[in-house]
Every structure is written in C-alpha cells, then in structure tokens.
Amino acid sequence: MTEPLLEIENLQTQFFTEEGVVRAVDGISLTVEPGEIVGLVGESGAGKSVAASSILRLVEEPGEIVGGRISYQGTPLVEFEEAPDGSRRPTDAMLSNREMRKQIRGREIAIIFQDPMEALNPVFTVGSQLKEFIEINREVSGEMAREIAIDMLREVGIPEPKKRYDSYPHQFSGGMRQRVLIAMALSCEPNLIIADEPTTALDVTVEGQIIDLVRDLQEKYDTSFIWVTHDMGVVAEICDRVNVMYLGEIIEQSAVDDLFYDTKHPYTEALLQSIPRPDETVGQLNPITGVMPEAINPPSGCRFHTRCPDAREVCQRAHPAYQNVMSEGRDHHVSCVKYESIGYEDSDPLETDAAQAFSGGIVESRGESDD
Ligand SMILES: Nc1ncnc2c1ncn2[C@@H]1O[C@H](COP(=O)(O)OP(=O)(O)OP(=O)(O)O)[C@@H](O)[C@H]1O
Ligand code: NI
C-alpha cells in the first residue's frame, strides 16, 4: 500500500473561553490517499471548520491544537511529545510556523473558504490578486505569472478570461467568485485542497456546475480534496470516502456507497433521512430532532444519545469505542454501543426527543444557545 498523503491521528483542538473549554475537535483520526476526495460532513457546530483549519495550523485565538498528530507525506505538521516535567511540547521534527508558510500553505495544501468575498480583496482586480498569489508561491513573476493567472481563469470556466482579469470581485457573481478561489487554490498545483463548504452560499444550479468543475479538475490534476459540507447530497455526488462528525468526534467513516447502502450509525441514518428527495414533499421529510448540544459540555456516554431514536440506558453511560466493523471486506469505522458487547440488547430504551418523535409525539426544540 502507498503512504497516505495526509494522516490525522487523535487530533484535539480546543477553545479556551470564559465559559469554559470548548472541545471543538475531540480526538479525530482520518487519512487522505493520493487523488482521493474525502468528505467531512455533519451539522453546524460539529467541528468541521476547526478540523479543516487545524490541518494548516490556522486555528485562531483562543483556540489551540492540544493533542494528536498530523503528517503530510510523512512530514509532521503537528506532533507532540512529553517533556521531562510531564508537560506536552511540540517535537523537534514538527514544522515551524515559517516552514508551514513557506513550504506547505498554498504550495502543498490549499484551502478554499465558504465566503469568497472574505478571501478576495474588494479594492484590487481579480487578476492582480491571482497573479500576486502565483508570484508569492511559485518561482515566476511579471508577464509569466499573468499568463498563468489567465490560463487558470480559463481553466475554471471564466468566460473571456483576458478581459475578466481586470474586473473587480464585486463585478463577478457568487459562483464566478467561487471559481476564482478554485483557480487560486489550483494555481500552485497543490497535492491537497481543503474546501470548507465552498458551495453552500450558491444556488443549486451553480452548486452543481462548481461540483462538475471540481470533478473534472480532480481527474485532470489528480488533486486530493477534503470536502467539508453539511449536505449528504453533495457527499453522494463528489466524495470517494466520508467521515461523519458529531460534536467534535468522527462517529462513522467509510467508502461513500457503504455509508449510503450499509449505514451503521443512527446519526448518519438521521442525516440521510433529512436529504430532500424529488419524489417526496417537504411534509414527508424527516428532519433530525432537537439541536446539537454545546461542545462545551457534551452529553455523557455516547454524545448522540440525547437525540438518538435507538438510545438505550447503557448509551448514557458508555462512551462507544471507534472500531472497524467492515462492509463486505472494506473498512467501515463506527462508534456506537450497538456494535459492542456491553449489554445494549438487555438495556432499557431511553426516552429521547427522537424516540418521542418516532412514536408520533410533539417534538420541542431543546436549543438553549440562542436565548
Ligand atoms: N473562535 C472560537 N471561539 C470559541 N469557540 C469556537 C470558536 N470557533 C469555533 N468554536 C466552536 O467550535 C465548535 C466547532 O465549530 P466549527 O466552526 O468547526 O463547526 P462546523 O462544523 O464547521 O459548523 P458550520 O457547519 O456551522 O460551519 C463549535 O462549538 C463552535 O462554537
Ligand atoms: Ni464550518
């Protein structure tokens, strides 16, 4: 087997706030193989963006990566060891901030954010920003960088790229701006692009066009992607493998078809139930009941037990192990008490929002964060 392009082991990222410690990413592990599109899916607040920015060590204050390991082609981007006094410190091998900036960001791993207006400066032309990015990250300048920039604009489907080079970001539509960001990410020919909900702000037609574009470019350049989304429909269209996140943890991970056709975790099941289908009216949709609890004080045992239709008494005590249960010979990881022999079968059912909803009761949102 070839070495994975990116390997994340037991990554933990926390925010130290006045209210307490937010365990935004709480021990996730995943790999990205060369040429693969790996999905990271889950509801708002699951920790997807924090996980994505941790990879490039772009976590903002008061956040900090506090544990685990990330390696890119064998080079440690994040790595800790125990100091003689028992505290935790970065290893000598872990890249410095300067090395991250000079060697990794942009050149090896690029990131595309949800909001192109935030990434593009409104006072400079689209072309000049793309050109500058190319000059900083590749050993080219002047006319050569300009030509590469125009080629990239053409490559991502911007019509009349020579003319549009001199346009300002506000003269582009949302979809076109997102194409510019994809051009920017691709322009340094990175091996991995992290795309954090790049199509969420776009309408469905434009979203479809961007997804087609990414699929074509992926085939042409063999770039790997980590695709962050809350939309299982997008996962089905674009991903090879998927990680499902809930409250800072990955609770299921498998090949995309196995996730859809051999679903193991009740949370994944609930996410799949909530995808709108053309043959169903909105009334038939099955939204997931309740809201995700706060990461600052997650539920005991299985973190999903408060909303799980299958929850039993044991689920509020036992934190399920993350284990490989296989789908027809392929790796399929899940953390759910049902797959352990710790007495799920003999345990009494729990009254949860979801259990009530499934028996026809009225579901009340238990959201407390907004009031
Ligand atoms: N700067 C911050 N300070 C404190 N907590 C933060 C900060 N940024 C993120 N968090 C917390 O970290 C957790 C994970 O947030 P994150 O943005 O990664 O979620 P997400 O899965 O990307 O959600 P969305 O789909 O809404 O983008 C949340 O509980 C969030 O409140
Ligand atoms: Ni996010």
Q: Complex ipTM, two decimals?
A: 0.99
Query: Residue 241 in contact with residue 260, Cβ under 8 Å?
Result: no
State the pTM of this model: 0.91
Q: Which pLDDT band holds residue 203 (cuts at 50, 70, 90)?
A: confident
**Segment 34-44, tens digit of pLDDT:** 999 999 999 99
- Which ligand is located closest to the Cα atom of residue 40? 1
- Which ligand is located closest to the Cα atom of residue 46? 1
What CA–CA distance (Å, rounded) separates 289 from 355?
9
Report the residue among 12, 14, 18, 22 best suited for mutation to probe ligand 1: largest number of ligand atoms under 8 A from its CB. Answer: 22
What is the atom index within ligand 1 of the atom nearest the CA of 50? 18
CB of 23 closer than 6 A to ligand 1? Answer: no
> Which of 126-130, 214-218, 325-329, 357-361 has the least mean pLDDT?
357-361
Confidence at residue 368, expressed as pLDDT on a 0 to 100 scale: 42
CB of 22 closer than 6 A to ligand 1? Answer: yes
Nearest alpha carbon to residue 332 among 199, 207, 242: 242
Report the residue among 11, 12, 15, 111 best suited for mutation to probe ligand 1: largest number of ligand atoms under 8 A from its CB. Answer: 15
CB of 46 closer than 6 A to ligand 1? Answer: yes
Confidence at residue 43, expressed as pLDDT on a 0 to 100 scale: 93
Report the residue among 44, 64, 65, 234 best suited for mutation to probe ligand 1: largest number of ligand atoms under 8 A from its CB. Answer: 44
Query: Residue 165 in contact with residue 129, Cβ under 8 Å?
Result: no
For atom 4 of ligand 1, the residue with the nearest CA is 15
Confidence at residue 291, expressed as pLDDT on a 0 to 100 scale: 76
CB of 248 closer than 6 A to ligand 1? Answer: no
CB of 303 closer than 6 A to ligand 1? Answer: no
Cα 127 to ligand 1 centroid, rounded to whole Å: 32
Token representation of residue 239 = 């991903």
**Segment 65-94, tens digit of pLDDT:** 999 999 999 999 999 999 999 999 999 999
For atom 30 of ligand 1, the residue with the nearest CA is 45
For atom 5 of ligand 1, the residue with the nearest CA is 15
Cα 30 to ligand 1 centroid, rounded to whole Å: 19
**Segment 322-353, tens digit of pLDDT:** 999 999 999 999 999 999 999 999 999 998 77
CB of 293 closer than 6 A to ligand 1? Answer: no
- Which ligand is located closest to the Cα atom of residue 51? 1
What is the atom index within ligand 1 of the atom nearest the CA of 248? 14
According to DSSP, residue 102 is labeled I
Confidence at residue 306, expressed as pLDDT on a 0 to 100 scale: 93
- Which ligand is located closest to the Cα atom of residue 248? 1
CB of 45 closer than 6 A to ligand 1? Answer: yes
What CA–CA distance (Å, rounded) separates 322 from 62?
29
How much is the CA Rg of the chain, to the nearest whole Å? 22
- Which ligand is located closest to the Cα atom of residue 24? 1
H runs (alpha helix) in the chain: 48-55, 97-99, 116-119, 126-137, 142-155, 161-164, 174-187, 204-221, 232-238, 256-261, 266-273, 353-358
CB of 47 closer than 6 A to ligand 1? Answer: yes
> Which of 24-38, 199-213, 229-243, 335-349 has the least mean pLDDT?
199-213
- The mean pLDDT value of the chain amounts to 90
